[in-house]
Structure 1
């Protein structure tokens, strides 16, 4: 129902996760299949089997990715850090290779990294990576605006060719200025629900965001 409400409100794409108490983990193959059958818009699936940014059991994660691909998943969301906050390039590469041929997003782990410039340089050439989901800072868009603007200005450089998908503390009042600066992709979850994650997606709220983005 959430997926259908988002689509009817004008969403371009969905991210499928489970367990928002853990900031979003990989859903079951069965849940993915039900949602994939319910909507026609692209669906990116989280590849994250434990809370935090460490990969956990890589074999299990890659096996789940294979199961999802067999069920028809074509787009994914992932990204891992080591204990020091640097990108875990070995783990990220292993999962990227497991979904070779698919497009994917490096998620907000970038906002919690010790050096986002080094992270972009390390993962920027991985096959399939076409998006960074980021607010520019761990604290959200308000804290990360200058970082977002600076990274957009570097579009085309190595590690900066991917689309910036802004999410994390994003509010409707941010949109006019962000659109004027040239940002064109926005990620919302709780903001399109009447009372946060405890309530369903509201198609009318999605439509309000759609109208603001298109204005």
Structure 2
């Protein structure tokens, strides 16, 4: 069965996403920086407001290198103390390869947690080589568009990645409803949306009706 993950910034977003039928949330802050780590306080508000799984972003700087790894580890610890058990992370080194050292360093705070390797994969030198590296790191999900330019440009890569699971492929990054039939036919079962369920853009909250429309497309 297909799943729909929706980006949430607030508890209000989370409630609307759940009302619309979303299966999981990705909780972030600061979409102007493409999504950074939210506060533990925000996570607590969200977790009290909904009962669907919440994956929390661990990222403290725009781009795919950590701004301050020590601070990220502290944030991870604080979020775990607040009850978080699922996370989203992913880093590249200066040469454009998956940064295994940084990733493992942060994973030391996440023992026993489920986690997604996010779109750093799309921005690596080679998405397929990066996938092989990420498989060994232990994530259960990879969020990818197949290209740094988004799903439209990455469709063929995404079709090839469906044959290389596990981990599970979660498609997001410029995903539009018109892409869904082709992706479903290729065997994709995970879909990730953000602005697509906010009719007025990132300055507006998640719209439950828009989420519901996506859910009906995935049946």
Q: Normalising by structure 2, what TM-score?
A: 0.92
Q: Which shifted more, 101-110 or 84-93? A: 84-93
- Residue number in structure 2 paired with 1:136: 146
C-alpha distance in structure 2 between counterparts of 1:208 and 1:3, whole Å = 16
TM-superposed CA distance for 1:22, in Å, is 0.3
**Equivalences for residues 96-135 of structure 1 within 5 A:** 96-127=107-138, 129-135=139-145
**Equivalences for residues 166-205 of structure 1 within 5 A:** 166-205=171-210
Q: Give 5+ residue unaligned stretches, structure 2.
A: 1-11
RMSD: 1.0
Q: Which shifted more, 36-45 or 90-99? A: 90-99
C-alpha distance in structure 2 between counterparts of 1:118 and 1:213, whole Å = 29
Q: Which has the higher contact order (CA 8 A, sep 6+)?
A: 2
Structure 2 counterpart of 1:15, from 14, 19, 26: 26
Does structure 2 retain, via aligned residues, the 8 Å contact 1:79–1:107? yes
C-alpha distance in structure 1 between counterparts of 2:193 and 2:76, whole Å = 24
The total of aligned residue pairs comes to 208
Cα shift readout 1:139-174 (whole Å, capped 9, x = no counterpart): 11111011011111233xxxxx10000001110111
- Residue number in structure 1 paired with 2:5: none
- Residue number in structure 2 paired with 1:91: 102
Does structure 2 retain, via aligned residues, the 8 Å contact 1:149–1:181? yes
C-alpha distance in structure 2 between counterparts of 1:140 and 1:120, whole Å = 17
Q: Secondary structure at the match of 1:18?
A: coil
Does structure 2 retain, via aligned residues, the 8 Å contact 1:76–1:104? yes
Does structure 2 retain, via aligned residues, the 8 Å contact 1:96–1:126? no
Q: Secondary structure at the match of 2:51?
A: coil
Structure 2 counterpart of 1:66, from 77, 81, 86: 77
- Residue number in structure 2 paired with 1:52: 63
Structure 2 counterpart of 1:145, from 152, 155, 163: 155
- Residue number in structure 2 paired with 1:158: none
Q: Secondary structure at the match of 2:193?
A: coil
C-alpha distance in structure 1 between counterparts of 2:73 and 2:163, whole Å = 35
Q: Give 5+ residue unaligned stretches, structure 1.
A: 156-160
Does structure 1 retain, via aligned residues, the 8 Å contact 2:195–2:202? yes
C-alpha distance in structure 2 between counterparts of 1:57 and 1:21, whole Å = 19
